[in-house]
Structure 1
Amino acid sequence: MSDHPAQAPLRIRAANAHDRDLLAQWALAMALETEHKQLDPATVLAGVEAAIDDPAKARYFVAVREATVAGRETISSAAGTLMLTREWSDWRNGDWWWIQSVYVAPVHRRQGVFAALYRHVESLARATPGVVGLRLYVERDNAQAHRTYQSLGMVDAGYAIYEAEFPT
């Protein structure tokens, strides 16, 4: 292994209750970075906890770098995450898996973290009966994200997303 944890190989695992604070912190950071929105930390933490407690709501995956430093000590460093939700399609009689809440820690960016997460969930989706594909939404002006998704074989589906948000 490497003496530099940021360059160590990635392992993808399902998130667990021990990840809740980090996942909430990353969700807050992602909303601020990508949409310039400051979310309520308590609401986000409750949302992350709800998803971890009930996989029918959502599933989180975490990319972890594990490195042996100086030949002795193993250091684990969470590098990034994504969340999966499902959408039933009557047109296809199956589920679309939606990739959401993507976040890669700044020190790990441009090192294949999202690609590893994507390939992991793509493999799971292909192996799961009834899953018809993967989808995600991306900010119109996030050209770097567009290029990343295209490099993984995703295409613009031609939809614009509208919403009617209700106060909580």
Structure 2
Amino acid sequence: MTVEITAQVRRATLADGDAIAQFNLAMAQETEGKALDAATVGAGVVSLMHQPQYGFYTVVETQTGLAGCLLITYEWSDWRNGLIWWIQSVYVHPDYRRQGLFKQLYAQVREWAQAEEACGLRLYVEAANHSAQSTYTALGMKPAGYQVFEALF
């Protein structure tokens, strides 16, 4: 049985940067088996926080501290004449999983997106991460029918 705990969801501040970077390092290791460079990730978190035109971090905080985060970045949709908010870098600390914290994060982000007249939310998920896919489906999200291709530099 899932027991939901109440937490505060808020936009992150620079003071949250170290915790967010640690969450990102843990997420990459856990979901993809990748050991990222801590200095690069830390600099990337701070860099985004100084460039809000690219997006923002959201954190979920319990009485004992930060328990998770996610990143929102923006994609312009000419088809919809509006912004799609991309949910990225989702992480909930293992001690807080299955307690409704991502549900609270998602609900707040959805509310903000609608208030700011975004035209939708999207995210990508590892093909083998069935647990996350179940969570997203339970929140009303649907597979978009696209595959992600990339060319990283």
> Does TM-score exceed 0.5, indicating one fold?
yes
Structure 1 residue corresponding to 2:65, chosen from 77, 80, 101: 77
Aligned to 2:53: 56
Aligned to 1:3: none
Bigger Rg over Cα: 1
Once the 2 structures are TM-superposed, how far is the Cα of residue 57 of structure 1 from its aligned partner?
1.9
Instruction: Count residues with an aligned counterpart.
Output: 151
TM-score by length of 2: 0.95
- Render the CA deviation track for 1:28-83: whole Å, top value 9, x for unaligned: 110111111111111100100011122112200110112xxxxxxxxx42111000
* Structure 1 residue matching 2:119: 3-state secondary structure: strand
Aligned to 2:124: 137
Match status 1:163 vs 2:147: no
Structure 2 residue corresponding to 1:94, chosen from 77, 82, 102: 82
Q: Which amino acid aligns with 1:105?
A: H
Q: Distance in 2 between matches of 1:154 and 1:27?
A: 23
* Structure 2 residue matching 1:124: 3-state secondary structure: helix
Q: Distance in 1 between matches of 2:53 and 2:29?
A: 27
The 8 Å contact of residues 11 and 57 in structure 2, kept in 1 or not, is answered as yes
- Render the CA deviation track for 1:121-165: whole Å, top value 9, x for unaligned: 000111112x11000000000000000000000000011000001
Q: Distance in 2 between matches of 1:148 and 1:47?
A: 27
CA RMSD, 1 decimal: 1.3
* Structure 2 residue matching 1:64: 3-state secondary structure: strand
The 8 Å contact of residues 50 and 57 in structure 1, kept in 2 or not, is answered as no
Q: Distance in 2 between matches of 1:81 and 1:8?
A: 16
Once the 2 structures are TM-superposed, how far is the Cα of residue 7 of structure 1 from its aligned partner?
6.8
Identity %: 50
Misfit runs of 4+, over 3 Å: none
Q: Distance in 2 between matches of 1:8 and 1:127?
A: 25
Aligned to 2:18: 21
Alignment gaps of 5+ in structure 2 = none
Q: Distance in 1 between matches of 2:97 and 2:5?
A: 13
* Structure 2 residue matching 1:149: 3-state secondary structure: helix
TM-score by length of 1: 0.87
